[in-house]
Structure 1
Amino acid sequence: MKLAIIGTGKIVQEALYAIDSLRSIDTRAIFGRAHSREKARSLADQYRIPEVYTDYEMLLEQSDADTVYIGLINSVHYAYAKEALLHGKNVILEKPFVLESSQAEELRDLAREKNRIILEAVTVLHSAVFRKMRECLPGIGAPKLVLCNYSQYSRSYDAYLNGVIAPVFDPAQYGGAVNDLGVYTIHYCVGLFGMPEDAAYFPNRGYNGVDTSGVLVLTYPGFICVCASAKDSDSPGFITVQGEKGWMRADGKPNVPEKLTIQTLDQGNPSVSTDAAGATVRKSIVKDYLPPAVRHRMTQEFADFAEIIDGKENAVADELMEETIQVVKVLEMAGMQDHMRS
């Protein structure tokens, strides 16, 4: 895959480090706006990138890259992705993909029309822990309750409290806790269970209306998922799925889970006991799964992207895009777009 990097911010810097060891990716170009020219040149020198652009149209017309990775602020995702597709490039678009399902569907359809591939860069779907969760899900029986928490105190929050608003806390730029962090937990729920029947968001809003933290409730037939996210406070991250015959818990920040614990009923030993709280305890088997070590949390997703794009695995891309579109629809269902427009 011949890749052009669009942006120079923190997520782009992490992506460049993540893919530096991947032989399947040849990074051909980097784009930064005029005021970021020196940063783009510095990154190009550091990662041996031969072409530096400050004109996006020129990059799309002149670079021999077949794919662009767009790591820009949320509000420009749709426009930059559409322009790249119109120029015949494959697209890897940072999360959150876009904030309207009509835009997501338009980008999907345009990619098909141009015989190109578009993918969302979200680590969840390429995580070994997530794949193990999918594999183990039937063993815990009918799901009853899913609890998720992705909270981390933002490095921009103190400045926000003093009136300096970074894009991540700007509603006009589609900032906020659910778009930045909650989107990961939504991907777990939709990736494991599909589209919910309903979604409702209960935010704590800052002085400019942005959600600095909040709880999203997804309703499925027979169970609910509760997803907490926060940029104004911190706590350990986790994804817990409770079923009638057991449970599983992924520990760590949901974008880079560290361990998965699975507890299932011991079918060969149906004995029960009572614990100190007076609860019934069924005989169970507990297993831990540790994911293989990787250079960076984004390394595996880019390895997967290169395989999909170079191998023209359109069916795999379509499946991933369908999941992405469902996540966008969940955000719509929860009323996020109406708030952003207000």
Structure 2
Amino acid sequence: MKLLIAGSGFIVEDWLPLTKDLPQIELTAIDSTKRSEEKAKKLAKEYGIKERYADYEQALKETKADTVYVAVPNFLHYDFVKKALEAGKNVICEKPFTIKYDEFKELKELALKKDLVLLEAITNQYLTNYKELKDKLADIGPVKIVSMNYSQYSHRYDAFKEGKIQPVFDPKKGGGALMDLNIYNIHFIVGLFGMPKEVHYMANIQRDVDTSGILTMDYGDFKAVAIAAKDVGGPITSTIEGEKEALVVNGSPGVMDSFDIYHNSDKLGHVDDKVHAHRMYEEFVEFAKIIKNHDMEKVRKALEHSDHVMKVLQMACDDAGLKLG
């Protein structure tokens, strides 16, 4: 995979050190805004990135990369992915895919029409611990309750209260707890159980953005609750309760350090089959394989999952009266 990195923010800085363990990925190019040009220049030098751009359209036209890693702010995903696909590039897009479901649907159709790989970078779907937990579901009896809480006080929330609106709290830029944190919970639940029958979102809304909220997902025989907050902080918890046993996840739903198996209050077992310390390692190993083999069957399967997640997001926004983007 010859990669053009679109973006130079936190996620890129976090990911780049990992690439030393990913020999199947060639860091071909990086594109940034003109404002971040010096930062991108420093990253390019440190990680041996051959091509550097401060103009995305120029980058797409001139780069030798075959794949674009879209790691720009949420509200730019749609435009960056569409331009990359139109330029004939495979695309890996950071979560959430887009702000609106219709935008995602358009991108999916375009990628499949052009026979290009399009994948969402969402860590938990590729973690070995997550796959082990999924296999364990058959042993815990009929699931009755799924509860997840990802609450993390944002270091930008104090500024928000003072009226300084940054992208993570800007509804026009896809900000808010649903898109930033609850997206991990939704991927986690939908990846295990598929599309729910009903979705409701009770959000705490300030200045038209959800600073926290409770998402409920009705699966008929069982119910799931996904809580996320950027205005409070507390223990991150994820529990799946079956009639026989319960599974308790250790760590955030995007990292999933391990999980424990309980019967009532008795701990029966502990599972930790991490392959790598960095949460993004396993997804990029899989992305490289898919692109190398042009495995469109896996692409379609991954896009079907992302489709369900995007539908849940849109239903949640509609239910809460949120107008993002």
Q: Give TM-score scaled by structure 2 length.
A: 0.95
**Shift in Å, 1:156:** 1.3
1:182/1:29 Cα in 2 relative to 1: closer, same or farther (>3 Å)?
same
CA distance in 1, matches of 2:109, 2:170: 30
**Shift in Å, 1:24:** 0.7
Residue pair 1:140, 1:263 contacting (<8 A) in 2 also: no
**Shift in Å, 1:129:** 1.8
CA distance in 2, matches of 1:293, 1:340: 39
Selected match of 1:324 from 306, 314, 320: 306
Selected match of 2:271 from 258, 268, 289: 289
The alignment partner of 1:249 has SS state of strand
> 1:97-130 deviations in whole A, cap 9, x for unaligned?
1122222222112111211100001111011221
Comparing 309-318 and 23-32, the one that deviates more: 309-318
Counterpart of 1:269? none
Return 5+ residue gaps in structure 2 as ranges: none
The alignment partner of 2:147 has SS state of strand
Q: Partner letter of residue 171 of structure 1?
A: P
Counterpart of 2:162? 162
Counterpart of 1:272? none
**Shift in Å, 1:70:** 0.6
**Shift in Å, 1:72:** 0.9
Pair 1:213-2:208 in alignment: no
CA distance in 2, matches of 1:17, 1:251: 25
CA distance in 2, matches of 1:4, 1:59: 8
Query: Kindly, what percent of the aligned residue pairs are identical?
Result: 40
The alignment partner of 1:288 has SS state of strand
The alignment partner of 2:84 has SS state of helix
> 1:74-109 deviations in whole A, cap 9, x for unaligned?
111111101100101000111011122222222112
The alignment partner of 1:262 has SS state of strand
CA distance in 2, matches of 1:5, 1:341: 26
Give matches, 1:288-307, under 5 Å: 288-292=270-274, 294-307=276-289
Q: Give TM-score scaled by structure 1 length.
A: 0.91
Residue pair 1:146, 1:224 contacting (<8 A) in 2 also: yes
Residue pair 2:149, 2:228 contacting (<8 A) in 1 also: yes
Counterpart of 1:107? 107
> 1:178-232 deviations in whole A, cap 9, x for unaligned?
10000000011110110001111111122x1211111100011111100010111
CA RMSD, 1 decimal: 1.7
Comparing 69-78 and 231-240, the one that deviates more: 231-240
> 1:109-160 deviations in whole A, cap 9, x for unaligned?
2111211100001111011221111110111111100000111111211222
Counterpart of 1:276? none
Counterpart of 1:273? none
CA distance in 2, matches of 1:335, 1:249: 28
**Shift in Å, 1:21:** 2.1
Residue pair 2:260, 2:267 contacting (<8 A) in 1 also: no
Pair 1:335-2:295 in alignment: no
Counterpart of 2:138? 138
Counterpart of 1:181? 181
**Shift in Å, 1:19:** 2.4
Residue pair 1:236, 1:253 contacting (<8 A) in 2 also: no
Residue pair 2:261, 2:268 contacting (<8 A) in 1 also: yes
Comparing 330-339 and 169-178, the one that deviates more: 330-339
CA distance in 2, matches of 1:262, 1:320: 28
Tell which structure's C-alpha radius of gyration is larger: 1
Residue pair 2:145, 2:241 contacting (<8 A) in 1 also: yes
* Count, aligned residues: 324
CA distance in 1, matches of 2:322, 2:20: 39
The alignment partner of 1:340 has SS state of coil
Counterpart of 1:312? 294
Q: Segments of 4+ in structure 1 off by > 4 A?
A: none
Comparing 303-312 and 170-179, the one that deviates more: 303-312
Counterpart of 2:226? 227
Counterpart of 2:33? 33
